[in-house]
Chains A and B, each alone.
Chain A
Amino acid sequence: MNYSAIPSAALAIALSISTSNAEVESLDPIKITTHDWSGQIITTTIMGEVLKRAGYNIEYVQADYIAQFAGLKTGDLHVAMEIWETTGREAMDEAIETGNVVSLGESGMIAIEEWWYPSYMEKVCPGLPNWEALKECSEEFSVAETAPLGRYLGAPVTWGGFDEERIEALELGFEVIHAGTDAALFAELESAYQRKAPIILWLYEPHWAPAKYEGKFIEFPPYSADCYQAPATGINPEAAYDCGKPTGPIWKVAWAGLGEKWPGAAKAISSFNVSNAEMSAMITKVDLESQSVDAVVGEWLKTNEDRWNDWIK
């Protein structure tokens, strides 16, 4: 937090004793958004800390994942580090179309999301993770509200995913129950896992859950754009969505004015790149081993000094 009334004398002192010598284009703070999941905060903090070392001023602003686009368009916010192909594509495209938001490329992480089950279900439903096994044992997943259909716990309605269509197209005996938020999704998984009770649900990566719980993603027929659009493609010639979900990159986006005001920062953000494995390891440390984000990010910065020095060159 910066107290806005800055006496110029104090500013002069501040500048003279500052530890960073790098010349940057503007000392105005670059506002980077944070959301409410650890992975995104880790990504953002890595970027923020790297930029700080390059001499930029960084302000982390907490904002809603979708609502932030309104701020990015007007320049209230400057950078968003994680826009998932799977959940944010629509909003991102819409924003980029206005010309006020630009994409800074992929983050190196790939978003994976699919139906997921805990390993102990393989005993009652042999043949998993092949999706065809689900045809035989959908009843194993049923509860009072859905019987005789199996219960598939889907993501919040707004996340899309076409699971109702997929069930129809692949003729699976399941009913989709939508969780309202992903916290509810994982609460149910935790509960079922404790009791070793049947469950099949939507999960995504990078996330701590696949690290904490033993299980696998269902292997559906591989995704293709045609499968989603043309009914003729795929196993069921009469229906679209007869395949798995697409995977896709996690994107970085920024306010269109970023490159002009802070060209060096824009270049650094474009170069930012971490892998799923790295991210999953960091998320696990934060969410499951209760380490602080700052500590985990600090460790990463120490071990990867060459990499991030390259970004800000």
Chain B
Amino acid sequence: MSIHFPNGLRKPVYFWLFLFTCTWLLSNYSFTLYKALGARWIIKFPSAWEWQLDVWISSFMTWLVEDAGFGLFTFRQLTRFLSALIEAPYNAMRALLADGFNSGLGQHAVEIFPAMSWVAITLLLVLLALCVGGRSLALLVGGCFLYLATFGQWQSAMVTLASIAIAVPIGVIGGLVLGILAYRSERFERLQRPVLDLMQTVPIFAYLVPILFLFGFGPVSALVATIIYAMPPMVRVVLVALQSVPEPLHEAGRMAGCTPRQMMWRVLLPSALPTLMVGVNQVIMLSLNMVIIASIIGAGGLGYDVLAALRRLDIGGGIEAGMAIVVIAIALDRLSQAFTKSDSSPNQSFGFVRSKPLLYFVIALMVTITMALLGKVWPVVQNYPEPMVLTTGRFWDEVIKWININFFEVFETVKTALLTYFLLPVKRFFVGIPWAWGIIALGLAGWRVSGAKLGLLCAALAGAIAANGLWREAMIAVYLCGVSVLLATAVGIPLGVWAGQSESANKILSTLVDTLQTLPSFVYLIPVVMLFRVGEFTAMVAIVIYAMAPALRYAAHGIREINPQVIEAGKVSGCTHWQLLWRIKLPLAVPSLLLGLNQTIMLALSMLVITALVGTRDLGQEVYIALTKANTGQGIVAGLAVAFIAIIADRILSALAKSSQARLGLVT
């Protein structure tokens, strides 16, 4: 394999330079141009041409909620029926884990059976961990759940766990069904793909209002929103997993005379199981990401505790509840990964979970009943004793206070410098771009990296944003995400390269990154406001913290996956350590780095709505305003605009990654 810069690079350089210069000139002089020509349309999309999409969506929604029907029943009755279908198992699960089974209402209620005690739940999960993953996993899971009990998070954690326990199976089964349908029919797959893209990129806040209208107030709406957000990766994974089942297996199935149904359930799905479990894992993680947002519309649990703690500026309380979400994520993640990994149990004496799942349920039932009875005698068994609850108390508040008093001036200096010389010039550049040129430039860029089709798509999406009168907000969003992504990659990639080369660095960094991604961003948003004040800089810091993870992960992955022979060859030809890195490792890791960049952009865009809470004035704020005013149309249109930006960035970067892969000869 030879690494060389292709001769063709010269031409693209000229192209990009030309595009940038034109954009810069137009951005700088658009206002002058408008004054000189008296053509206001240059800087502002003419309001006479604006679509009334938000109004249409709102009135469609009203019609759907109030009038739409199918003869025998109305649309709303249908959604309420669905809502009842989800609510019944949720209530049962919540009773089992958190509230206990009662008969009667309110103060007439009589407890029939208490909720599973904390001892029983911890014991059973440790047993499960021991069976699928061995002693170290058992210790980890036990530690995680003991944290929940000792830090007084148990009750809320169980409410959260109950909603996860309902959302995940629905997400998994739904993903499985859609994935199989897509596998069977290419037409369905083509139709479904853009829908999945939108489900993943439209901010959840945008569709919370219609969900509330249709599914009613309370935990069910939160569950529905969680499922919408968490299901798409499962669909994609199912499709990929089915498509990558090796041909000989198909052959064997056909020779054995399988019907299509047998083929699917007896041959394809079992052999794709390890990959499918990756999807399950994704659904779990994304559901946990939704905990905070779900609590805004009534899911309660840990997410609510985080919000409530931060509203009274109890930073420690926020961190403790936030960490509870992290430990649940870690425990569930490691458990589901352990299920994926080993087909034969590592621990023979406890291997029965796989072979005899029924036995596990019998044990679970017995433990639950025993503990419930013991709990009647010793209340400690039923509920973790209040006086033994640990808390960090005001420790974190004091830490932040100390940093605030001693280092605020330093932060302020750095912040002012960054704002003056970096953020504001970039902002002026993006906000100045006239909408008409923006559409053309994106079209050209798309055409250049992939072809006319992508060019048209990019131009059309950008045009749709402008036509809805959101150009300025969109450009502020692009600027904010742009600078954040730049900083996130500038920090993330070097760290990732380090992690890719050193195992010990990798261990520390990946723990850090896992924590940063599952810790709800609200937890650190408030301390960041205290140190940097309300405004775009704070928003940027929060986005960088959250979006750094994929840059780091993919860089580490890219470096680690390089064929060792190539590195060996480099060493033999006398490369120094730095030459090895710059000339061989980094160029070869480019496709991986681009994928990481892609993911970083997606995460940055998904943070926009969250940063609206610290006072940004971009698309995220539009979505947030729509939410607080319960304006369905405005929210969905602004949400779609965010999705369009995401899709444009994704398509252009994917095309770049593909062509760089082809250039490096990495395509298999």
Contact = CB atoms under 8 A, between A and B. Distances in A.
Interface of A: 1-4, 6-7, 10-11, 13-15, 17-20, 27-29, 33, 36-38, 52, 56-59, 61-71, 76-77, 91, 143-145, 153, 156-158, 177-188, 190-191, 194-195, 197, 208, 286-288, 290
A157 B629 CA distance: 11
A10 B308 contact: no
Interface string B628-649: 1110000000000000000000
A166 to B, nearest CB: 19
B313 interface: yes
B91 A188 contact: no
A302 B238 CA distance: 60
Contacts of A144: 412, 416, 419-420
Given A1-B95, A190-B313, A208-B312, A36 B304 contact: yes
B463 interface: no
A157 B625 contact: yes
B534 A67 contact: no
A158 B628 contact: yes
A2 to B, nearest CB: 5
A10 B112 contact: yes
Contacts of A58: 106
Contacts of A191: 404, 408, 529-531, 533
A10 B104 contact: yes
Given A4-B88, A177-B535, 6 more contacts: A18-B104, A52-B107, A157-B621, A180-B612, A188-B533, A190-B530
B503 to A, nearest CB: 39
A187 B530 contact: yes
Nearest to B394: A290
B213 A3 contact: no
B472 to A, nearest CB: 15
Nearest to A4: B91
Nearest to B616: A180
Contact of A184 (B419, B420, B529, B628): B529
Given A67-B209, A188-B533, A19 B107 contact: yes
B534 A158 contact: no
A4 B91 CA distance: 8
B312 A38 contact: yes
A293 to B, nearest CB: 10
Nearest to B216: A76
Contacts of A190: 313, 530
A20 B107 contact: yes
Contacts of A77: 217
A184 B408 CA distance: 17
A99 B517 CA distance: 46
Contacts of A158: 624-625, 628-629
Interface string B295-321: 111111000100110111110000000
Nearest to A190: B313
Contacts of B183: none
A187 B532 CA distance: 10
B213 A70 contact: yes
Given A36-B308, A37-B311, A187 B107 contact: no
Contact of A178 (B527, B530, B615): B615
A61 B299 CA distance: 9
Interface in B406-434: 408, 412, 416, 419-420
A14 B404 contact: no
Interface string B177-199: 00000000000000000000000
Interface of B: 88, 91-92, 94-95, 98-99, 101-110, 112, 208-209, 212-213, 216-218, 295-300, 304, 307-308, 310-314, 401, 404-405, 408, 412, 416, 419-420, 525-527, 529-531, 533-535, 611-617, 621, 624-625, 627-630
21 contacts: A2-B105, A3-B92, A3-B95, A6-B103, A10-B103, A11-B103, A14-B103, A18-B107, A57-B106, A59-B106, A61-B218, A62-B295, A67-B628, A67-B630, A70-B212, A71-B217, A178-B615, A178-B617, A180-B614, A180-B624, A185-B534
A174 to B, nearest CB: 15
A61 B629 contact: no
A29 to B, nearest CB: 6
B311 A68 contact: no
A36 B298 contact: no
A36 B311 contact: yes
A39 B525 CA distance: 23
A118 to B, nearest CB: 15
Contacts of A56: 106
A184 B629 contact: no
B438 to A, nearest CB: 25
A91 B535 CA distance: 28
A7 B103 CA distance: 8
Nearest to A62: B298
A201 to B, nearest CB: 10
B95 A195 contact: no
B404 to A, nearest CB: 5
A68 B624 CA distance: 16
A139 B98 CA distance: 55
Contacts of B416: 144
A197 B300 CA distance: 37
Nearest to A19: B107
Contacts of B405: 194-195
Contacts of A69: 630
Contacts of B630: 66-67, 69-70, 91
A180 B110 CA distance: 44
- Nearest first, the 9 A-B pairs at minimum CB distance are A57-B106, A14-B104, A10-B103, A191-B530, A1-B99, A180-B613, A287-B312, A187-B529, A62-B298
A205 B104 CA distance: 40
B321 to A, nearest CB: 13
Contacts of A153: 534
A267 B355 CA distance: 62
A9 to B, nearest CB: 9
A37 B401 CA distance: 23
B304 A184 contact: no
Nearest to B298: A62
B624 A3 contact: no
Contacts of A1: 91, 94-95, 98-99, 102
A219 B295 CA distance: 38
Given A36-B308, A57-B108, A194-B401, A145 B419 contact: yes
A27 B108 contact: yes
Contacts of B628: 64-67, 156, 158
Given A62-B304, A184-B529, A68 B105 contact: no
B105 A67 contact: no
Contacts of B401: 194
Nearest to B630: A67
A116 B108 CA distance: 48
A193 to B, nearest CB: 10
Contacts of A188: 529-530, 533-534
A61 B298 contact: yes
Contact of A143 (B106, B109, B533, B615): B533
A144 B536 CA distance: 13
B530 A180 contact: no
A301 to B, nearest CB: 14
A12 B401 CA distance: 57
A17 B217 CA distance: 32
Contacts of B103: 3, 6-7, 10-11, 13-14
A66 B625 CA distance: 11
Contacts of B617: 178
A3 B102 contact: yes
B102 A76 contact: no
A116 to B, nearest CB: 16
Nearest to A56: B106
